[in-house]
């Protein structure tokens, strides 16, 4: 059944909305966010209220009342597809939190570039996607002639953004550095999964050395804390110079730090073990056993605690000198 309109403006609005539903309905949320950010200045901020949640519906509802918006949508969607890094290029980052933490830290330290991390959601992967999608040359950066195109028209928030090919090259370099760091990893197996005591101790050790990365996570989630600890060790000596080297080799300083950390943990375990009371079975006579039970009841202690007090008190009275040194030694 055909829809009839008595007012030409109503027909125009209907056709415009149907066009927007067809075009915008097919794009991804990432594309919709970039489209909103590109169109908003041209529409004097009238799209600022549109949130990420249901962003496509929000765009359709807000845009169909605008004048001459269809051409703007098509033009800017073409631009979005020229700069947005496809999801398949980022699939290897879905493996675990450590991979994402380490790669985002490397990415943000690359000299000559800048980007936003808050275009999308709050996950680390969202931050990586956001940084790449808005990645632009900083004002101090001189573009390498080897990758500089003859012409460049892409602009984002007044910045000259990287082309898609350039972003892919940056991502490949980040992955190369990450892979080389992983190949030199001699601490992942050492930091036991699920060992909360070791994970907390290592976190404290790194904090005391000012090496623990202050990434906002749930510090009660030891799985995430372990990933941050590993990331902190991954980036122990990271600097922007790593982007220019062909092969990463751990420095003697990093090797020494990891060795000292492992030895310190071994010493901590030894000290902890010394605080653990070992069970002993002493064959006491019935009369002595009854007296021990009575003494413990009077003092409100366990028999083991009572016996521990009696032995140490007797030892201090008869087996050490006035300076507290042992009087007797045995082999």
Token match 């370099």: residue?
173
End residue of a domain, out of 272, 300, 322: 272
- Please report the pLDDT score of residue 230 as a whole number: 92
Does one domain contain both 124 and 237? yes
Q: Coil, helix or strand for 175?
A: helix
Same domain, 241 and 261: yes
Q: Note whether 133 and 100 are same-domain residues.
A: yes
pTM metric for this prediction: 0.68
DSSP 8-state symbol, 216? -
Q: Is the residue at 221 inside a domain?
A: yes
Cα–Cα distance between 212 and 203 in angstroms, integer?
A: 7
Compute the C-alpha angle 167/170/171, nearest 5°.
Answer: 85
Q: Are 88 and 50 in contact (CB under 8 A)?
A: no
Residue 174 resides in a domain = yes
What one-character DSSP code corresponds to residue 142?
P
The answer, yes or no, to whether residue 243 has pLDDT greater than 70, is no
Q: Which residue has the higher pLDDT, 155 or 125?
A: 125
Q: What is the mean pLDDT of residues 92-117?
A: 85
Mean pLDDT of the chain: 81
Residue 25 has pLDDT above 60, yes or no: yes
Domain end marker among 37, 54, 83 = 83
**What's the DSSP call for residue 282?**
-
Q: What pLDDT is stored for residue 191 in this prediction?
A: 94
For residue 79, being part of any structural domain is answered with yes
Whole-number pLDDT of residue 97: 85
Is 235 within 8 Å of 105 (Cβ atoms)? yes
In whole angstroms, what separates CA 19 from the centre of its chain? 40
Considering only 34-38, 173-177, 242-246, 312-316, which range has the smallest mean pLDDT? 242-246
What pLDDT score was predicted for residue 168? Answer: 92
Residue 183 belongs to a domain = yes
**Is position 189 within any domain?**
yes
Rounded Cα gap, residues 184 and 268, in angstroms: 25
**Exposure string over 140-155, b if 16+ CB within 10 A, otherwise e:** eeeeeeeeeeeeeeee
Please state the domain count of the chain. Answer: 3
Query: 129 and 245: one domain?
Result: yes
Domain membership of residue 229 as a residue range: 87-139+155-272
Residue 283 within a domain: yes
Predicted confidence at residue 147, as pLDDT, reads: 41
How far is it, in rounded angstroms, from Cα 237 to Cα 250?
A: 8
Taking the CB of residue 184, how many other CB atoms lie within 10 A of it?
13
CB-based burial label for 36 (10 Å; 0-12, 13-18, 19+): buried
For the chain, percent of residues with pLDDT exceeding 70 = 82
Please say whether the beta carbons of 232 and 188 come within 8 A. no
Cα–Cα distance, 194 to 111 (Å, whole number): 37
**pLDDT digit string, tens, across residues 150-201:** 334 455 556 788 889 999 999 998 888 888 888 888 999 999 998 999 999 9
Q: Do 195 and 318 share a domain, yes or no?
A: no
- Separation in Å, CA 203 to CA 55, 213, 223, 224: 39, 10, 12, 12
Question: Is residue 146, in this structure, part of any structural domain at all?
Answer: no
* CATH number of domain containing 303: 1.10.1220
Residue 204 pLDDT > 90:
yes
> Is residue 268 scored above 90 in pLDDT?
no
The model's pLDDT over 105-115, given as tens digits with 9 standing for 90+, comes to 888 878 888 88
My answer on whether 79 and 94 are in the same domain is no
Q: Is 148 inside a domain boundary?
A: no
Looking at the structure, do residues 64 and 126 belong to the same domain, yes or no?
no
- Do 260 and 170 lie in one domain? The reply is yes
Residue 107 CB neighbours (<10 A) = 21
- Of 256, 272, 288, which residue is a domain's last? 272
Kindly state whether residues 23 and 128 are assigned to the same domain: no
């Amino acid at each position: 059944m055909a829809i009839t309109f008595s007012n030409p403006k109503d027909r125009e609005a209907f056709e415009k909305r149907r066009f927007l539903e067809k075009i915008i309905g097919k794009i991804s949320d990432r594309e919709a966010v970039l489209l909103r950010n590109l169109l908003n200045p041209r529409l004097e901020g009238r799209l600022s209220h549109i949130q990420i949640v249901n962003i496509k519906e929000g765009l359709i509802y807000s845009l169909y009342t605008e004048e001459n918006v269809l051409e703007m949508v098509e033009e800017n969607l073409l631009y979005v597809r020229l700069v947005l890094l496809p999801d398949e290029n980022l699939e290897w980052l879905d493996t675990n939190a450590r991979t994402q933490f380490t790669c985002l830290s490397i990415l943000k330290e690359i000299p000559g570039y800048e980007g936003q991390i808050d275009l999308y959601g709050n996950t680390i992967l969202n931050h990586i996607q956001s940084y790449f999608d808005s990645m632009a040359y900083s004002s101090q950066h001189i573009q390498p002639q080897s990758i500089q195109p003859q012409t460049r028209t892409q602009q984002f928030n007044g910045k000259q953004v990287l082309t898609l090919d350039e972003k892919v090259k940056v991502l490949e370099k980040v992955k190369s550095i990450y892979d080389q760091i992983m190949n030199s990893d001699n601490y992942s197996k050492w930091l036991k999964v699920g060992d909360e005591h070791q994970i907390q101790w290592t976190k404290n050790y790194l904090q005391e050395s000012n090496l623990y990365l202050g990434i906002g996570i749930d510090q009660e989630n030891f799985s995430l804390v372990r990933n941050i600890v590993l990331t902190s060790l991954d980036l122990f000596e990271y600097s922007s110079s790593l982007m220019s080297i062909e092969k990463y080799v751990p420095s003697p300083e990093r090797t020494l730090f990891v060795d000292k950390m492992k030895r310190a943990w071994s010493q901590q375990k030894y000290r902890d073990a010394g605080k653990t009371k070992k069970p002993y079975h002493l064959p006491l006579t019935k009369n002595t056993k009854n007296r021990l039970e009575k003494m413990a009841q009077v003092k409100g202690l366990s028999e083991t605690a009572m016996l521990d007090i009696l032995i140490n008190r007797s030892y201090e009275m008869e087996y050490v000198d006035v300076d507290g040194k042992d009087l007797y030694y045995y082999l």
